[in-house]
Amino acid sequence: MKYYPITIAGRHEQLPIISISPELSIAFFNLHGNQELTEHCAKSLVPLIEGAEVIITAESKGLQLAHCVARLLGHPFYAVARKTQKLYMQDGISVKVKSITTGDEQRLYLSAYDTALIKGKKVAIVDDVISTGGSLAGLEELVQKAGGKVLAKAAILAEGDATERTDIKYLAQIPLIERR
């Protein structure tokens, strides 16, 4: 297996390069199960979202990151947008998200509890990787629909065209690796 070397806020990592199509590979970043890396990244993101009153993320890879960021900020709660509507979310809100990867329409759901948590607050959207921006756009729409104000959009990594965006903050860049 080949690896992509990266430095994330002073920490060196080797990301496995994984093929996602015959023409394209990615440097795969995964926080699941990596407590040290998650804590390191959370500590490094906190200064980028100063002033946030609430953190929101989309399930699932951003969950442990949002948990750590919220804890470091002293927030007792954070909001989670789900990709499927759970029983406890019948009175919540949702938005349509078009998957740029598959072209399919999906939805993001926010419970009534999380909607109330966001209402009238300055919100930071936190995620592990921002690539196409589809999930990010859905999270922004959820925050607005819930009556919150997006203060900051932050990720550990920006991938591909996301590295050229001026509206997001991130710790490091990873490329989309085209194969010829």
Tell me what percent of the residues of the chain surpass a pLDDT of 70: 97
> How many CA atoms within 13 Å lie on the side-chain side of 7?
2
The length of the chain is: 180
| Residues 76, 84: Cα–Cα separation, whole Å | 24
Rounded to the nearest 10°, the torsion over CA 148, 75, 52, 42 is -130
Rounded to the nearest 10°, the torsion over CA 152, 52, 159, 140 is -60
Average pLDDT, the chain: 92
Query: Would the pLDDT of 51 be above 60?
Result: yes
Give the predicted TM-score (pTM) of the model.
0.92
**Tokens found for residue 60:** 């699932």
What digits encode the pLDDT tens for the residues 118-141?
999 999 999 999 988 888 999 999
| Residues 19, 12: Cα–Cα separation, whole Å | 22
What digits encode the pLDDT tens for the residues 63-87?
999 999 999 999 999 999 998 888 7
CATH numbers and ranges of domains, the chain? 36-172 (3.40.50.2020)
Calculate Rg over the CA atoms of the chain.
Answer: 16
Output the CA torsion sign for 52, 56, 42, 163. negative
Collapsing DSSP to helix, strand or coil, 174 comes out as strand
